[in-house]
Structure 1
Amino acid sequence: MPQSTVVAIAMLLMIAAIAESKSTIEPCANSDSCNALVGYTLYADLKVSEVAALFQIDPIALLTANSIDISYADVENHILPSQLFVKIPIICSCVDGIRKSVSTRYKTRPSDTLGSIADTVYGGLVSGEQIREANGNLVTDPSVLDVGMSLVVPLPCTCFNSSDNFLPAVYLSYVVREMDSLAGIASRYYTTVTDLMNVNAMGSVAVKAGDIISVPLPACASNFPRYASDFALLVPNGSYAITASHCVQCSCGPGNLNLYCTPASLAVSCSSMQCKNSNLMLGNVTAQPSSAGCNVTTCSYGGFVNGTIATTLSNFLQPRCPGEHQFPPLIAPPTTVTRDSMFAPAPAPSLSDGAGSKTPKSSFMPSSGSLPGISPANGPIGSTSDATSLVNPLSSFPTLAFLLLLLKLALLTAS
């Protein structure tokens, strides 16, 4: 074979390697974990419970993460439309020196291949080769899978100390689409191109379909004790989280980034949510004007400890009395796909007291004579991550292996 042909094949190999999709990887060295999100586009019409089962998460947690009203009857069986974009709440762990989520398992069905599971079912969040590596010797042929196999599906995620520019943040792993640009992604998620480039260690603004980038979302942080089961709870701005065995619902925004928790409306058996030495219930606030300002008393959530809902009664004086608390807007369970629902951006904090919903259907109505107000459960300010964000190629070994074989044959022929 002519030397020029060998050179051409080598160049094709280099181009293929460069063209592979990239994903932001965060190295780690300890066993801690964090709250994270992955962006997922439904490949078919699926019930809420089906989507939750794909990722082994609580259906109610899926709904609250996307600000979908959980007060609708039989909402877990609501059918979500194909191509709907949703944010999936996951736990991001440190595995083999990098951040990833390994709690998702998939049971194979007839006609499944590793490629179809990765590209279709999980929407490009993982590659077939990554699934193969995560399951060791369980998979011998990626194109022939036994029905009923339980496969670990490693999902991308990052923590970066749960902070962005020293403020609390939750990181969303976002799969870039054909129509996306870095500026467009930054605009949708209320951040800047510079911030995205810094987070993802990017040398240019170029992105292409299939790349997975980390998007920081402003969040409300908790200050629950370390021994609480929901320690380090983070709620992205403009959304909700369910905790304490479905008894407590916490929200973030839109007027500020202070975590605000109230009893959830779900019909479950819960421990007492009344603050000690008070007739105030969780989420209640009383305000008494005085010549010195406004005396405010709050009953706030202190974490879920040994099956008990901890509450904290606080009294403080502030210059003026708080207005009625504004909740993030809730949406009805989606039945159609619109541009907004395809991208589901996290709303930015609003400076207006008139933004947001005053009382979501799923929230607790305070008792007569009390006002909903701001929870004092302000989260600690985060710190920047010491880890380096690396944009590395995702595995696509079948293509590269084929080109390597061609190169080897070409070199043998040339010699």
Structure 2
Amino acid sequence: MVPVWLLTVTVAATLLLTTPTESQPEANFKCATESATCRSLTDYTSTNTTTLNEIATLFGVKHFLDLLGANNLPTNTTNTYKVIPNQVIKVPFPCKCFNGTGKSNNLPRYKIQPGDTLSHIAAIRFAGLMKYQQIQTANIKKIPDANNITAGDTILIPLPCSCDKVGGSSVMHYAHLTENGTNIDIIAQKYGTTSQTLLSINGIEDPNKLEAGQVLDVPLPVCNSNVRNTSVDFPLLVPNGTYFYTANDCLKCKCDSAGSSNNSNSMLQCEESGLKPINHWSVCPSAKCSASVLIGNTTSTDSCSRTFCDYVGYTSRNISVVLVTQNTCAVAPSGSGGSDSGASRSILNGSVWIKLLILIHFLLFFVYHL
């Protein structure tokens, strides 16, 4: 029979090594352009089995196809799709800049359940994407006392985000929850940015202090787009390996930089979706550059360029397209992609290892006195 003290030590070790610490900084993403709006992404994981529908409801995702596109799931995926415990789902949401930081734009809104506390809502319901103090600040008129909330009340959940360009390039900012065993280099390589960029935009001076569960602002490269600033969907930000339905679902636009050295030479690829339009359109407007050239069609190619019918935006009445010539031999900007030569190779915060050593000594002490 396993001794009780050994079970106690094992449980304590598990909790210490898997539970994010309260010392982690609040996630406040810089957002310099006042009142700018854009689309952003956030990580979400649940400790229990859930469904895409439940996640969409929790975060107020109104358009289910947006959730599918952000995770590059087949368009015929149903809302009952099972999400296993700790599976990472990327959730799209609207972002707005205010007073130098970005927060989700009036979404999500959460109805307080019996037994909820602000701490539980922040850490469990929304996976630690914000601190309970940030929820209180966002609802200060309704929640003057963080220890006194009312079941049935609906409160605003402030997700961190940004609409800023990075290094002069458009990106989609992604609130990423760091995992055990990762580091700045690994994250940068995985998401197509650089270690120095991650350190800079997150204000991290010492990469050795990165902790599991810390929320990082990760700028995801997006495909180049000719969408005009007069279009309803401007800025149309679609990260590599994802797709997005636009123009009232009449068009499907995907970003795929496979075969390119980086996204700077990848154009957004838009085509007719074949779906029934939503909102006020009964039928989809024409999306042709000519009688025989549909949106997405290529009309000519040579060794370093191609001319194709490209999407440039939509209004309440029409979809605009134009013939565009793309340089397919563009040279990648200096220093783009990959990891920085001087970047840290250290793993997560050393405090985790200190806790482990303490537990080992604690265990040896009990064994010695048996």
User: Which residue, out of 291, 297, 304, partners 1:278?
Assistant: 291
Partner of 1:230: 233
Shift in alpha-carbon separation, 1:319–1:39, aligned structure 2, 3 A: closer
**TM-score scaled by structure 2?**
0.71
Q: Which amino acid aligns with 1:308?
A: N
Pairing of 1:58-77 with structure 2 (within 5 A): 58-72=63-77, 75-77=78-80
User: Which residue, out of 283, 295, 302, partners 2:312?
Assistant: 302
Partner of 2:188: 186
* In structure 1, C-alpha distance between the alignment counterparts of 2:68 and 2:79, rounded to whole Å: 9
Greater shift, 134-143 or 223-232, is seen at 134-143
Pairing of 1:15-414 with structure 2 (within 5 A): 19-26=23-30, 28=32, 30-57=34-61, 58-72=63-77, 75-104=78-107, 105-161=109-165, 163=166, 165-205=167-207, 206-255=209-258, 256=260, 257-268=266-277, 269-287=282-300, 298-314=308-324
Partner of 1:399: none
Shift in alpha-carbon separation, 1:121–1:265, aligned structure 2, 3 A: farther
**TM-score scaled by structure 1?**
0.64
Shift in alpha-carbon separation, 1:177–1:193, aligned structure 2, 3 A: same
Secondary structure at the residue paired with 1:37? strand
Q: Which amino acid aligns with 2:314?
A: F
Q: Which amino acid aligns with 2:120?
A: S
Shift in alpha-carbon separation, 1:280–1:195, aligned structure 2, 3 A: same
Determine if contact 1:21/1:210 at 8 Å carries over to the other structure: no
> Identity of paired residues, percent?
29
Q: Which amino acid aligns with 1:131?
A: I
Greater shift, 167-176 or 22-31, is seen at 22-31
Give deviations 1:141-184, integer Å, cap 9, x for gaps. 545533321100001112332x3x33332221112233332233
Determine if contact 2:39/2:94 at 8 Å carries over to the other structure: yes
Secondary structure at the residue paired with 1:106? strand
Shift in alpha-carbon separation, 1:19–1:118, aligned structure 2, 3 A: closer
* In structure 2, C-alpha distance between the alignment counterparts of 1:317 and 1:92, rounded to whole Å: 31
* In structure 2, C-alpha distance between the alignment counterparts of 1:295 and 1:176, rounded to whole Å: 40
Determine if contact 2:180/2:212 at 8 Å carries over to the other structure: yes
Q: Which amino acid aligns with 2:137?
A: E
* In structure 1, C-alpha distance between the alignment counterparts of 2:26 and 2:326, rounded to whole Å: 52
Determine if contact 2:179/2:213 at 8 Å carries over to the other structure: yes
Q: Which amino acid aligns with 1:83?
A: N
Secondary structure at the residue paired with 1:26? coil
Root mean square deviation, CA, Å: 3.0
Partner of 1:398: none
- Please list every run of 5 or more consecutive structure 2 residues that lacks an aligned counterpart in the other structure: 1-20, 261-265, 330-336, 339-370
Q: Which amino acid aligns with 2:296?
A: G
* In structure 2, C-alpha distance between the alignment counterparts of 1:18 and 1:146, rounded to whole Å: 25
Tell me how far 1:127 sits from its aligned partner. Answer: 1.3
Q: Which amino acid aligns with 1:244?
A: A
Tell me how far 1:122 sits from its aligned partner. Answer: 0.7
Paired residues, number:
298
Q: Which amino acid aligns with 1:260?
A: Q
- Please list every run of 5 or more consecutive structure 1 residues that lacks an aligned counterpart in the other structure: 1-16, 321-347, 350-415
* In structure 1, C-alpha distance between the alignment counterparts of 2:50 and 2:307, rounded to whole Å: 45
Secondary structure at the residue paired with 2:238? strand
Shift in alpha-carbon separation, 1:266–1:81, aligned structure 2, 3 A: farther
* In structure 2, C-alpha distance between the alignment counterparts of 1:266 and 1:128, rounded to whole Å: 41
Determine if contact 2:230/2:313 at 8 Å carries over to the other structure: no
Q: Which amino acid aligns with 2:210?
A: V
* In structure 2, C-alpha distance between the alignment counterparts of 1:233 and 1:131, rounded to whole Å: 29
Q: Which amino acid aligns with 2:267?
A: N
Tell me how far 1:300 sits from its aligned partner. Answer: 1.9
Tell me how far 1:128 sits from its aligned partner. Answer: 1.2
* In structure 2, C-alpha distance between the alignment counterparts of 1:258 and 1:141, rounded to whole Å: 50
Tell me how far 1:230 sits from its aligned partner. Answer: 0.5
Secondary structure at the residue paired with 1:34? strand
Give deviations 1:295-320, integer Å, cap 9, x for gaps. 96532212121142222245x59899
Greater shift, 124-133 or 267-276, is seen at 267-276
Shift in alpha-carbon separation, 1:174–1:295, aligned structure 2, 3 A: closer
Greater shift, 248-257 or 236-245, is seen at 248-257
